[in-house]
Amino acid sequence: MSQSRLLSSRVLDESSWDVDDEVIIAASQIVQSASQRKPGGSVLGRVYIYRDREAGHTRLYQDYFAEHPTYGPSVFRRRFRMHRPLFLRIVNAVEQHDDYFQLKRNASHQKGLSCLQKATAVFRMLTYGVPADATDEYVRIGESTTLKSLRRFVKAVIDVFEDEYLRTPNDTDTARLLALGEERGFPGMLGSLDCMHWRWKNCPSAYQGQYSGHYHTPTIILEAVASHDLWIWHAFFGLPGSLNDINVLHRSPLFAKLSNGEAPQVNYNINGHNYSMGYYLADVIYPSWATLVKTIPEPRGNKNRYFATAQEAVRKDVERAFGVLQSRFGIVRGPARLWDEETLSDIMTSCIIMHNMIVEDEGIVDPDECFENGGDNVKPSHDRTADFEEFIANHKKIRNQNTHHQLREDLVEHLWQHHADRYS
């Protein structure tokens, strides 16, 4: 008979009310074994795994964050896609913004996961695109905790850094972009525009027809504008992959501030003609708007050939930005495994924000992050919003085809006269 049954039988037996040493010993052993038993999870059927989180944090800290870490700066840069000071800046900001990442004790007074453990697990998913369960063995963090940390981390990054690192160009930014464009032979250029598809592996069955396009698999579209330094100035994400670039452009907020009269003033002269709106270099699929400059398909003559070569070379800036973004954050290169579009949008937006932070921190692009397949808080510049008639006039001005063709002809002459030797 076991000790617990022996104790129960003696308690129930009226003839054994006398407390003796054997009963006291048996009771103490039962209490001791119950107190040493590890607490189980709150979910029915879940098996508790003792992961030794404190040892995991100690090992992680010694590997990367100690004064003399096991893995040096070059290994840290390769595995986290950024230098350690920038990583710690992001982690500290997220920890202050969301107390979920602060070290706490649970109901049984055991220490939880540290902010470094949660952030490292999140970065393993973002940079390598691995499943949430793949981080458990090293970081000592469960799958459900990793997914929750991922969702809260990307939201915190957006809340803290979006206003600064995913801003539309202000007056200073516009002046710098215009100067860079003029140096490269395109006065008035603000960047290059294109779209990228992110495959949605776990797209719900009800949405698969809507999100499947020419890739014959569900995808979500990202529209972006990038400059020569690969800074992404505009990101519009979330439209289904069944749309093309023109459909995305018609729904994009890219020219919203320009229509409202809130965009910075842009004035320049090309070949004797004055222009008051900046433009973006785009592919041939885009419409012939005054704010877009496309290449010349099948160009004839030396001037047109020079222009087509120069336009296609500079337009690759946005494709290079897509390639570097996918190289730094493998999660947006591989198929998306999450189910809800909101989380995917937060992941894409936060990766773009951290991409811009890396561009600001390093200033150059690492050769290993090249495109594989070819492919301070800002105040509004103007306080006044355009009225309805002015809005309609600006709207028509943006889509003026005559201005588009005149601008392209002027750029052909400008490149031929001043920059033809660069592309010979």
Could you read off the pLDDT of 337-362 as tens digits, one per residue? 998 999 999 999 999 999 999 999 99
Residue 3: inside a domain:
no
E-strand stretches of 179-259: 189-199, 219-226, 232-240
| Residue in the structure block whose two tokens are 């469960």 | 142
Contacts of range 246-249, beta carbons closer than 8 Å, 24 or more positions apart: 246/285, 246/286, 246/287, 248/195, 248/221, 248/223, 249/223, 249/286, 249/287
What is the rounded average pLDDT for all residues in the chain? 86
Residue 305: inside a domain:
yes
Task: Tell me: do 183 and 206 sit in the same domain.
Answer: yes
Decide if pLDDT at 259 tops 80: yes
Tokens of 310: 């120069």
Which band of pLDDT confidence, cut at 50, 70 and 90, is reported for residue 24?
low
Tokens of 258: 């320009």
Backbone angles phi, psi at 323, to 5 degrees: -65, -40
Task: Tell me: do 395 and 284 sit in the same domain.
Answer: yes
Task: Tell me: do 154 and 209 sit in the same domain.
Answer: no
Between 7 and 136, name the one with better pLDDT. 136
Decide if pLDDT at 109 tops 90: no
Which band of pLDDT confidence, cut at 50, 70 and 90, is reported for residue 97?
very high
Q: What is the pLDDT of residue 404?
A: 94
Task: Tell me: do 112 and 90 sit in the same domain.
Answer: yes
Cβ contact 249:194 at 8 Å: no
Which band of pLDDT confidence, cut at 50, 70 and 90, is reported for residue 421?
low
Task: Tell me: do 125 and 226 sit in the same domain.
Answer: no
Task: Tell me: do 151 and 193 sit in the same domain.
Answer: no
Domain with 133 in it: 53-164
Cα–Cα–Cα angle for 306, 311, 317, rounded to 5 degrees: 140
Residue 191: inside a domain:
yes
- Last residue of some domain: 136, 164, 192? 164
**What predicted TM-score, i.e. pTM, was given to this entire model?**
0.84
Tokens of 237: 């994400």
Task: Tell me: do 100 and 233 sit in the same domain.
Answer: no
Residue 33: inside a domain:
no
Task: Tell me: do 263 and 369 sit in the same domain.
Answer: yes
User: For 240-252, how does the pLDDT look when each residue is reduced to its tens digit (9 = 90+)?
Assistant: 999 999 999 999 9
Strand partners, 279: 189
Which band of pLDDT confidence, cut at 50, 70 and 90, is reported for residue 126?
very high
Between 258 and 329, name the one with better pLDDT. 329
Cβ contact 139:52 at 8 Å: no
CA–centroid distance for 193 within its chain = 18
